[in-house]
């Protein structure tokens, strides 16, 4: 079916089947149900009886004697790429393997090029198939997004918001916001991914994320900062620590304490190192860990102090288990939490409401 250029295992897997696209096309027999023109007629002159009212004939394609591409075929191809198997794709889509094969053939007819090769080891992509696979998932996600926007226009009380956050510190800040918001809007659904800041921004550009909440965010094109909240890192002590009652702590005092800090891959740690180096003080933490929970447990166990935004341990501070003390004078680590969106993509009603809620929460939490 054409020279093989790559295997499915060599590309990034797309997202799982798209539920909204499935709503548009319930599983079943393929020959009479399609979004566009009936696939058995190259001229494209007869509309499918089930979907005929949804879209008029594409006259440009009809003049060229080409069949318009069906959304169902794109969805089936996306699932085939994800599973690397005709049979597995058919099972997930609840159709016969021949139905998947037929829709792939429709795509190949539309693009005028073979997209896959079958072998005993599964299905392999041609070069043309790789090009389509790289874009099919994003196309379907965008259509899901449009479906949700249309639902919003109809006043439906449902929706899904995908949020990317970089690092456990931000996740800890975000969790109470989502908890409060979910109680207010119980019919909404949320998907939260904890990644690096760069991965979060890339997800925004790929239409995989509605919102990104980022600390020490890299400056990237294609990202719009909707709001920015300035925060400071404080010294976090266990309750009852000798320095916990002081109004502030100097770098020299801090250097003399057993410290628990993140490793040097974290932007916050890099900022700590720079702060101490500028003051001519050697920083020698007793504990180094990438886990926020580990940092908190070491503080609660009176084994160390750490540096964190007070917001990230707000619950422990309220319960009297921890105390946050600022660094003295103008010394300290200051950064911002950025709420980011894609500049060219309209937020759904649900995502817009959540963005407003996050902004208000951060504004109130940092007031004063």
* Residues 228-241, mean pLDDT to the nearest whole number: 92
In sequence order, the β-bridge partners of residue 334 are 232
Do residue 328 and residue 356 come from a single domain? no
Do residue 276 and residue 359 come from a single domain? no
User: What range defines the domain where residue 109 resides?
Assistant: 4-152
Do residue 32 and residue 142 come from a single domain? yes
Domain annotation covers residue 158 = no
Domain annotation covers residue 215 = yes
* Residues 25-48, mean pLDDT to the nearest whole number: 35
Do residue 254 and residue 359 come from a single domain? no
Please give the Cα distance from 343 to 338 (Å, whole number).
Answer: 14
Do residue 80 and residue 181 come from a single domain? no
Q: What is the CATH number of the domain that holds 260?
A: 3.40.190.290
> Would you give the distance in Å from CA 170 to the centre of its chain?
14
Residue 115's pLDDT band, with cuts at 50, 70 and 90, is very high
* Residues 311-323, mean pLDDT to the nearest whole number: 92
How many domains in the chain? 3
Residue 235: is its pLDDT beyond 60?
yes
State both tokens at 181.
């918001």
Neighbours of 116 (CB within 10 A): 27
Do residue 216 and residue 352 come from a single domain? yes
Q: Give the residue, 324 or 39, on which the prediction is more confident.
A: 324
CB 124 within 8 A of CB 6: yes
- CA angle 310–314–315, rounded 5-degree value: 155
Domain annotation covers residue 157 = no
Do residue 281 and residue 343 come from a single domain? no
State both tokens at 342.
């894609």
Q: What is the CATH number of the domain that holds 193?
A: 3.40.190.10
Do residue 257 and residue 179 come from a single domain? no
Least confident of 65-69, 166-170, 186-190, 273-277: 65-69
Please give the Cα distance from 212 to 222 (Å, whole number).
Answer: 13
Do residue 132 and residue 279 come from a single domain? no
- Summarize pLDDT for 286-303 with one digit per residue, the tens: 999 988 899 999 999 999
pLDDT of 153: 58
Q: What pTM does this model have?
A: 0.56
Do residue 91 and residue 207 come from a single domain? no
Residue 99: is its pLDDT beyond 80?
yes
Domain boundary among 119, 152, 185: 152
Dihedral pair phi/psi, residue 294, rounded to 5°? -65, -45
């Amino acid at each position: 079916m054409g020279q093989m250029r790559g295997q499915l295992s060599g590309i990034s897997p797309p997202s799982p089947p798209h539920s909204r696209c499935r709503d548009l096309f319930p599983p079943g027999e393929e020959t009479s149900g399609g979004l566009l023109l009936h696939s058995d007629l190259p001229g494209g002159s007869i509309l499918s009886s089930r979907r005929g009212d949804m879209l008029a004939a594409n006259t440009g394609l009809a003049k060229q004697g080409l069949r318009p591409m069906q959304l169902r075929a794109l969805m089936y191809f996306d699932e085939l790429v994800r599973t690397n198997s005709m049979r597995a794709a058919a099972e997930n889509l609840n159709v016969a393997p021949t139905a998947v094969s037929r829709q792939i053939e429709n795509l190949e007819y539309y693009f005028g090029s073979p997209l896959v090769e079958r072998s005993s080891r599964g299905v392999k992509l041609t070069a043309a198939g790789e090009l389509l696979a790289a874009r099919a998932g994003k196309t379907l996600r965008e259509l899901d997004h449009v479906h949700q926007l249309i639902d919003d226009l109809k006043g439906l009380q449902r929706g899904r918001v995908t949020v990317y956050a970089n690092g456990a510190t931000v996740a800890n800040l975000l969790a109470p916001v989502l908890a409060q918001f979910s109680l207010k809007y119980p019919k909404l659904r949320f998907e939260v991914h904890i990644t690096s800041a760069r991965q979060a921004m890339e997800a925004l550009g790929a239409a995989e994320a509605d919102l990104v909440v980022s600390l020490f965010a890299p400056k990237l094109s294609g990202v719009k900062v909707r709001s920015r909240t300035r925060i400071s890192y404080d010294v976090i002590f266990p309750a009852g620590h000798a320095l916990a009652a002081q109004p502030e702590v100097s770098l020299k005092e801090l250097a003399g304490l057993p410290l628990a800090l993140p490793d040097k891959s974290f932007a916050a740690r890099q900022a700590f190192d720079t702060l101490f180096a500028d003051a001519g003080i050697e920083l020698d933490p007793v504990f180094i860990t990438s886990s926020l929970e580990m940092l908190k447990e070491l503080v609660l166990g009176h084994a160390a102090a750490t540096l964190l935004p007070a917001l990230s341990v707000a619950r422990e501070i309220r319960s009297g288990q921890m105390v946050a003390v600022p660094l003295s004078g103008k010394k300290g680590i200051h950064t911002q939490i950025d709420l980011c969106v894609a500049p060219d993509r309209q937020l759904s009603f649900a995502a817009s409401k959540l963005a407003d809620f996050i902004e208000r929460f951060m504004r109130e939490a940092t007031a004063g």
